[in-house]
Amino acid sequence: MDNAEDVHGAAGGLSKEDGGAEAEVGPISAHFFPTSIRLAHHPFNPELLPTMFTGLVETIGTVVSLEPLDTSSSGGGGTSLTISNCEEILTDAHLGDSIAVNGMWPSPTAGAPTARPRRLQHLTTPPPGTCLTVTAFDKTWFKVGVAPETLRRTNLGSLQTNSRVNLERAVLGETRMGGHFVQGHVDTIAKILSVTPEGNALVFRLQPRDMGVMRYIVEKGYVTLDGASLTVTKVVDGADGFFEVMLIAYTQEKIVTAAKRAGDDVNVEIDIVGKYVEKSVQGYFAGTAGGNMSILEKMVERIVEEKLKK
């Protein structure tokens, strides 16, 4: 890197040639770095932050149609999903906005209209199969495109006319984080093994289709079911492992999961924090690249040396 090269941060600054403000030296001195680097400082731009949700469902919508081959201009010749009875989340809607549907979120793509979104968006188009694309909306309904991989990975393909779905808009910069960090990227689906009343609450026992996600699910931790942030109350590991969540009376009135029964499927997104921790720990014990001994090997070697000295 040239010593005079500007470093543009993720805050979304543009160079003067790109229509942005004149670059200024940031508050961090170049003496902080081993080589002289001039930092470009730009105003904070929330529209370039990644899309995020809280897992607190705003409203329940109703499926109008799930068309396997939508040849209309907004269908694009693929599968489309139209949802209605959700006017309260469309009052400030723009083409390209993000709305989580049972834990899956729509986002703009290269072919989407270019109206400026008001809610937080991804810097780049998400990978196929993890996100939906808003193609049309009105005062009381909106339509999204559904990729084949999304149908395979989630329960959206089983939706029918009049099915009810959890809906949540992407968070604003000033939104209270009442749930947890939800990305809207479904990891797997889980089958409901049982629903047991406990007072005025309901205890749901679930088993993931991909049992590999069980290592990220911990008691008193978070899990997202059909887009709703819920606290895990019990975890049993093993080949026939499962986990449980409890829905209090208030939550039962706010999400569609309360109406589901044993044998039904739910979308599952595990807490992303668990994935980051796992990767960090693996990297720590794997050591650095270049053939050096791993941290674990060094620890063992040191213990052996100490024992031999004694």
Pick from 165, 167, 166: which is nearest to 89 by CA?
Answer: 167
Residue in 51, 54, 79, 98 annotated catalytic: 98
- Encode burial over 173-207: b for 16+ CB neighbours within 10 A, e otherwise: eeeeeebbbbbbbbbbbbebeebeeeeeebebbbe
Residues with Cβ < 8 Å from 269, sequence gap 6 or more? 103, 182, 183, 184, 185, 186, 187, 223, 224
CA 104 – CA 167 distance, rounded (Å): 9
Active site residue 147: yes
Active site residue 53: yes
Residues with Cβ < 8 Å from 15, sequence gap 6 or more? 6, 8, 23, 40
Active site residue 133: yes
Question: Which tokens sit at 81?
Answer: 């999903």
φ, ψ of residue 204 in degrees (nearest 5): -100, 125
Question: Which tokens sit at 85?
Answer: 């009875």
CA 246 – CA 230 distance, rounded (Å): 8
Active site residue 185: yes
Residue in 42, 122, 180, 185 annotated catalytic: 185
Residue in 54, 80, 82, 133 annotated catalytic: 133
Residue in 11, 30, 147, 258 annotated catalytic: 147
CA 220 – CA 285 distance, rounded (Å): 27
Residues with Cβ < 8 Å from 296, sequence gap 6 or more? 285
Question: Which tokens sit at 273?
Answer: 């924090």
Residue in 40, 86, 93, 131 annotated catalytic: 131
CB atoms within 10 A of CB 250: 8
Residue in 231, 280, 288, 294 annotated catalytic: 231
Which residues are catalytic, by number?
53, 98, 131, 133, 147, 185, 231
